[in-house]
Amino acid sequence: MNLFGILVLMVFHRGYFTNGGSTNVSARPDVVNIGSIFNFDSFVGRVAKVAIEAAIEDVNANPALLGGTKLKLTMYDSNYSGFLGIVEALRFMEGETVAIIGPQSSDIAHVISHIANELQVPLLSFAAADPALSSLQYPFFVRTTPSDLFQMAAIADIVQHYEWRGVIAIYVDDEYGRNGIAALADQLAAKRCHISYKAALVSEANRTDIMDLLVKVALMESRILVLHAYTDMGLDLFSAAQYLGMMGSGYVWIATNWLSTILDTNYPLPSDQMDNIQGVITLRMYTPESELKRKFVSRWSNLTSKKMANGPVGLSTYGLYAYDTVWLLAHAIDAFFNQGGNISFSNDSRLNELHGGILHLDAMSIFNGGKLLLNNILQVNMTGVTGPFKFTLDRSLILPAYEVINVIGTGFRRIGYWSNYSGLSVLPPETLYTKPPNRSSSNQQLFSVIWPGQTTKKPRGWVFPTNGRLLRIGVPNRVSYREFVAKVPGTDMFKGYCIDVFTAALNLLPYAVPYKLIPYGDGKINPSDTELVRLITAGVYDAAVGDIAIITNRTRMVDFTQPYIESGLVVVAPVRRLNSSAWAFMKPFTPWMWCVTGISFLIVGVVVWILEHRMNDDFRGPPRKQCATILWFSFSTLFFAHKENTVSTLGRLVLIIWLFVVLIINSSYTASLTSILTVQRLSSPIKGIESLIMSKDPIGYQEGSFARNYLIEEFNIHESRLVPLNSPEDCAKALKDGPENGGVSAVVDERAYIELFLSTQCEFSIVGHEFTKNGWGFAFPRDSPLAVDMSTAILQMSENGELQRIHDKWLMSRACSSPESKLEVDRLQLKSFSGLFLLCGLACSLALLIYFLLMARQFSRHYSEDFESSGRRSRSAHLQKFLSFVDEKEETVKSRSKRKQSEGDSTRSNDRDEPTNGSSSKKSHVEICSDKNVSSFGSGTSS
């Protein structure tokens, strides 16, 4: 309804307006006029009327707040009528009203908000919770109660907490109901849940209308019912549901906070009404305990007994928010005066153009200080009976929270809380505000619930519709590999591995599933499983059963069950047997392995000879004999048949490490050679998908398989290379013919098919590795609860062995002993032994380093005097003497050292006796020894 339509209604009330231009009031007037519109006779209105009047009295009795200014309240009863609500809002303009508290109804709030926008009069509602009222379209509407957006978020969290997926929404078909359910749909969608059916009722629905609607709801699949209605309609609907048996076991009823309002206001309800709502979950706006709240609650009985003709009524949370709304407005008006604001009104220039006639539109005036008062309202920060009272940037109250209530027996019990800060909890929200928000599933908690039917077991949340319609299940009408799924000729029945798995899983479900298998395909070529899955989204089928691979583009359309068989794309190609040749003993090692192994034998032999030569007679003798010793010793270690003993510590260390290396090499060679000579070996020019991609040969695939699109999209194989094959016989013929005769070089298909194919075709084999990982599953519509239950049944079959039994029944290999022929055994690579060779090399290097350091130290000690006496001698002479020293036997060196020491002692004795001749005698002795050493090295022998 636009503003012009609203003004037309004024023809019946033109007497309410007065002529005049503008009115000015002093900055601090004695009285400030405010208005209030709501339904006096409603559950909310009866409580709100008492609370607002009490708040006006308390504000006016507090001289410190408004500085002597009093609030004058005018209250009008909209009497459930949108028309009267509009008229009453217009009447407030006569009394120079600066703000209006109300309305109660969201419908009326939408219309009156247009008037508030035009006349700049703030509209404060403590009950209109429609989320759409928060839009930028209504800047002068201020909601002083939590929006239904948060209530719907709480319901969505409850649905997710109990792992339900679909709900049925029953609501009144007006702004309040439609927009509330729209918010619920958005919140559920954010949690991968949904509203499966929306059941709308007109606001004047009678019992017959309600019964007709509930009959439709009872035929639906979901058993999670969210009721978003008004108080009287809600109770009538629960009465009808009880009559239809919809308040029993298996149902879940979640009512919005209208039900908690009734329980708070009219407690206790009559026994027949309480019986109708047993097990229902409802929400109540949460207000923390405080001293202000306790005082107001203690006053409530006296307030209602004086003002209610029919006796006291209970205090609902709407009464608390209505009381705080008055205080909020009082604080804002006080700030308005403190900022120099004054109350003045002026004519609307746009309405002045419409003067004359019987409507007197030019009499409507604009509140000049409306924007300033609105800003002060939004900036108020106070503590009221509802707790901290402050607005966020999006004009919502801070820290919205709800109590989750379970109706049981003659009353109700709280099973937890919900807050926008941390979700569901069994702790009061204010205890969580000091901690970081935690929305993890493990932190979402509620106490146990007694559900409808007096059961504590969580309802499954859905059943099969009782409308008599069978579940339509599409089954691919295959031409090939009929062991998986095949139509029984002359009947509507199907058989095969996939069908047996499906029926066995259905038998494990705790409920009956009426279904009908419908063939998909013409029976001449294999149908496309992707197209079958798409028909589920189109509503042609309710599910699909068969050899349907779970791949990415299909999961975007439907939900799959747990895979009941593993499968993936593999390459199968022709293979030929390799016979053992005369040089088969060379095949265990690669050429590099042979070369490095032979060189290692020689290196180790030389290292051991160096370490043993000076002290071991087995490693001494003429050069020809020593070379033969090195060769014999090194290669005899291959068979652990070396007869030379090692006596040095370093030599033994090197030999131990080398023998360990030889042991590993020998064992590996023996095992590989045994495999080559005894295992059947096959060879194929195709080594896997990589070599297939690099070639230009045609590739076969099964008609209807996703392999075609996968090869084109993932590997960029041109579609001209792809050849469709419709049966195993076609595959075998194409592989035998090969590319030269119009066939294919290889076939790409799923492993499950290939294993069955190879059980009778032993001349082919899987080459390379499986290059995709997926499985087969049954397809259901998105968010179908049957998919979850079927997945659980398949897992149970896997655990108890039933799945394997069905597999063996249909897919056991027949002719060939193995579905995969063994390809040529891999040769042993050098890199497999690189660690061993590195270890041996390090040991040899370390031993040689230590050995030559010891030799250099011993050489310098024995020939230091010769170096001193010889003076500057050529480096070649020093090197020649060092090599001669290294070649000498250890015993000879030690013997000469002792002899030199004794001769030295004798010389020193003669020096004491004949000092004049000592020098020449010593020189002669050194020359004799030197000549003797040179002669010994040149002979090439030592003793």
On whether the CB atoms of residues 49 and 57 are closer than 8 A, the answer is: no
Which DSSP string do the residues of 559-593 spell out, in sequence order? EE---SEEE-EEEEEE-EEE---TTGGGTTB-HHH
C-alpha dist (Å) from residue 441 to 400, 418, 444, 449? 20, 14, 5, 18
Question: What CA–CA distance (Å, rounded) separates 460 from 224?
Answer: 9
Question: What CA–CA distance (Å, rounded) separates 102 from 108?
Answer: 9
Whole-prediction pTM? 0.68
On whether the CB atoms of residues 528 and 547 are closer than 8 A, the answer is: no
Q: Using DSSP, state whether 97 is helix, strand or coil.
A: coil
Q: Using DSSP, state whether 32 is helix, strand or coil.
A: strand
AA identity, residue 474: G
Using CA atoms of 871, 874, 875, 880 in order, give the dihedral in degrees to the nearest 10: -100
Written as six digits, the tokens of 618 are 């087995």
What Rg value do the Cα atoms of the chain yield, rounded? 49
- pLDDT at site 9: 38
On whether the CB atoms of residues 427 and 438 are closer than 8 A, the answer is: no
Residue 894 φ/ψ region, left for φ over 0, alpha for ψ in the -120 to 50 degree band, beta for the rest: alpha
- pLDDT at site 345: 85
On whether the CB atoms of residues 539 and 780 are closer than 8 A, the answer is: no
Q: What is the mean pLDDT of each run of 10 residues along the chain (943 residues)?
A: 40 35 57 89 89 94 89 85 72 78 87 87 93 89 94 96 93 93 95 92 92 93 94 92 94 96 90 94 95 93 74 87 96 93 80 54 76 95 94 92 95 95 94 89 92 93 76 93 91 93 92 90 90 94 94 93 92 72 67 82 80 71 76 71 71 79 80 66 71 88 90 90 91 91 92 88 85 92 88 94 92 56 51 68 79 75 59 64 67 66 61 48 40 37 36
Written as six digits, the tokens of 784 are 């179908």
Rounded to the nearest 5°, which phi and psi values hold at 725? -125, 135
- pLDDT at site 147: 94
Strand ranges inside 62-165, DSSP E: 70-77, 99-101, 123-125, 141-143
AA identity, residue 178: R
Q: Are strands 401-408 and 494-495 parallel, antiparallel or unpaired?
A: unpaired
Question: What CA–CA distance (Å, rounded) separates 94 from 17?
Answer: 6
- pLDDT at site 819: 40
C-alpha dist (Å) from residue 839 to 481, 635, 650, 661, 846? 55, 19, 15, 9, 11
On whether the CB atoms of residues 451 and 458 are closer than 8 A, the answer is: yes
Written as six digits, the tokens of 372 are 């300033």
Strand ranges inside 47-93, DSSP E: 70-77
- pLDDT at site 746: 92
Question: What CA–CA distance (Å, rounded) separates 753 from 484?
Answer: 9
Q: Using DSSP, state whether 48 is helix, strand or coil.
A: helix
- pLDDT at site 588: 76
- pLDDT at site 913: 52
Which DSSP string do the residues of 518-572 spell out, in sequence order? EEES-SSSPPPHHHHHHHHHTTS-SEE-SS-B--HHHHTTSEE---SEEE-EEEE
Written as six digits, the tokens of 31 are 């009285």
On whether the CB atoms of residues 943 and 892 are closer than 8 A, the answer is: yes
Question: What CA–CA distance (Å, rounded) separates 346 from 363?
Answer: 10
Question: What CA–CA distance (Å, rounded) separates 722 from 710?
Answer: 11
Written as six digits, the tokens of 107 are 């419908």
What is the SS3 string spanning 831-896?
HHHHHHHHHHHHHHHHHHHHHHHHHHHHHHHHCHHHHHHHCCCCHHHHHHHHHHHHHCCHHHHHHH
Question: What CA–CA distance (Å, rounded) separates 304 from 914?
Answer: 144
Q: Are strands 166-172 and 224-228 parallel, antiparallel or unpaired?
A: parallel
Q: 588: cis peptide before it, omega within 30°?
A: no
Residue 577 φ/ψ region, left for φ over 0, alpha for ψ in the -120 to 50 degree band, beta for the rest: beta
On whether the CB atoms of residues 775 and 566 are closer than 8 A, the answer is: yes
